Structure formats: structure tokens, C-alpha cells
Structure 1
Amino acid sequence: MLASDTSPPATPSRPKALWRRWLIWVPLLLLCLAAGGWLGLKYSTTGRQAALASGYIAQVTCSCRFVSERDMASCDTDREPGTEIVQVEEDSANRTITAKVPLLSRRISRFDPEYGCTLVAP
């Protein structure tokens, strides 16, 4: 007759199971914190100021570039202090200026010879 094995069945080691949980929950927690931080900035006073600044810079730069027919380097001197974070891109073919604050706001101003520069709805 064979002797039966009385040892309990093998279970995964506790530290290894705990490590697997950490690999799942830590990135998920970091993603939630990052999303919460971004939403907090976007919909706070900072986000509204970013939208205002990008719209203002788009409009001023469009008027400078297409109405006054100055070059972009000259138009950079028209910017107000504190708007250095706003990035400006020109599309000469469509006669538009895009001003954006990274991750927070983006506004486009389009030039029409009859109406001048107008902000495009976001």
C-alpha cells in the first residue's frame, strides 16, 4: 500500500501575491491622481485664465499679422507680460493663428478680408 501525502496543497507565496496587487493598483492610482490634477487645473481659475490668454493672444496676433501685415517676430513684441506660456502657430494658407496653453486651452483666430479677425468657436 502506498503512503498518502498529508501535506497541504501548494499555495502561492504571500509576498508574490502582494507584489502582483501592487503592480495593478499603483499605476491605476497614479493615473487617477494625474487625471484629477489635470481636471483640477482645467476647470479652475487657472484653466479659465489659460482660455482667456490663448483667445486674447490669438486675436492680437491675427490682427497684427493679417490686418497690419507685420511679420511674426514683430507681432511677438505686442504680447502682454505674463503671456509667455502661450504658444502661437501661424497657418498662412488658411490665414489662421492658433494660440495654445499646453494641456489646458487652444483658441484659433481666422482672418476674413470682409470681417477681419474672428475667434473660431472651441
Structure 2
Amino acid sequence: MANRRPNSGAKRSLASRLILWLLVLAAIGVAAAVWANRAPIEGYAKVGTSYAARVACSCRFVAGRSLEDCEKDKLAGMELVSLSDDADARSVTASFPLVTANTATYREGYGCVLEEWEG
């Protein structure tokens, strides 16, 4: 007969539950930290997407580069900002997931101009 410990399964089950609870508490802590700092996060996201839209619009419709090439012009720390263009409207939209998006449109004689911010 194999030498088995009688409570080894119970200890593993307890450890699994403890790890699960710690992960749940960590997720709640992260969510609370994000909620508490939502105004600065939203502000930085709005400024970052505005900057990215304006620069990418100029890159795309003034310099005539591809949007993929314009992605290289994003600053460090802007990895979460995504760009999309509308060739017919001559505009570029930059978005930060679940937070904000901003659009810059090329206007003859003015270059790329940001759309007005709402509220």
C-alpha cells in the first residue's frame, strides 16, 4: 500500500480557495484604484488621443504617409492608443479603449484640426 497523507487533498483545496480569494481581492483593489483615479486617467487619455489624432492626421494627409507608417510617430507610453483613418473625410481618429476617442480632420488652408470636445 502507498503511504498517503489523509488531509493532503483538503490542504490543496484550502490553498486553491485562498489563492482564488486573494485574486478576487486584488481585482477589487485594482478596480477601486482605477475608479478613484478615473478623472486623471480620462484627462490623460483625452489629451493623448487628441495629440495622436492631430499628429497622425498631419502625417497621413499633409505628408502623404500610410497610417501604418504614421503609427511609428506615437510617443512612448501611447501603446494603448489606436489609430484609424477615413480617407474620404480626410480624418484620423485616435482612441483609448473604453475611455475616449478624438478625431482630427484635414481642412484646406488650416491643416489638421481637432473636432470639438464634448462635455
Q: Normalised by the size of structure 1, how large is the TM-score? A: 0.64
- What residue identity is the alignment partner of 2:95? K
Residue matched to 1:67: 62
Aligned-pair Cα RMSD in Å: 2.1
Q: Identical aligned pairs, as a percentage? A: 30
Q: Is residue 103 of structure 2 the alignment partner of residue 108 of structure 1?
A: yes
Contact 1:42 1:48 in 2 (8 A): no
1:48 offset after TM fit, Å?
0.5
Runs of 4+ with deviation above 3 angstroms: 39-43
Please give the per-residue CA displacement for 1:49-108, whole angstroms capped at 9, x wherever unaligned. Answer: 000100000000000000111111211111101101011110001001011111111100
Residue matched to 2:9: none
Contact 2:46 2:100 in 1 (8 A): yes
Change (3 A) 1:61 1:44: same
Residue matched to 2:49: 54
Which whole-Å CA distance do the structure 2 matches of 1:80 and 1:114 have between them? Answer: 27
Matched residue count: 87
Q: Which runs of 5+ in 2 are unaligned?
A: 1-27
Which whole-Å CA distance do the structure 2 matches of 1:106 and 1:47 have between them? Answer: 11
Q: How does 1:74-85 map to 2 (within 5 A)?
A: 74-85=69-80
Which whole-Å CA distance do the structure 2 matches of 1:65 and 1:42 have between them? Answer: 34
1:120 offset after TM fit, Å?
0.3
Q: Normalised by the size of structure 2, how large is the TM-score? A: 0.66
Change (3 A) 1:42 1:115: farther
Higher Cα radius of gyration: 1
1:43 offset after TM fit, Å?
4.4
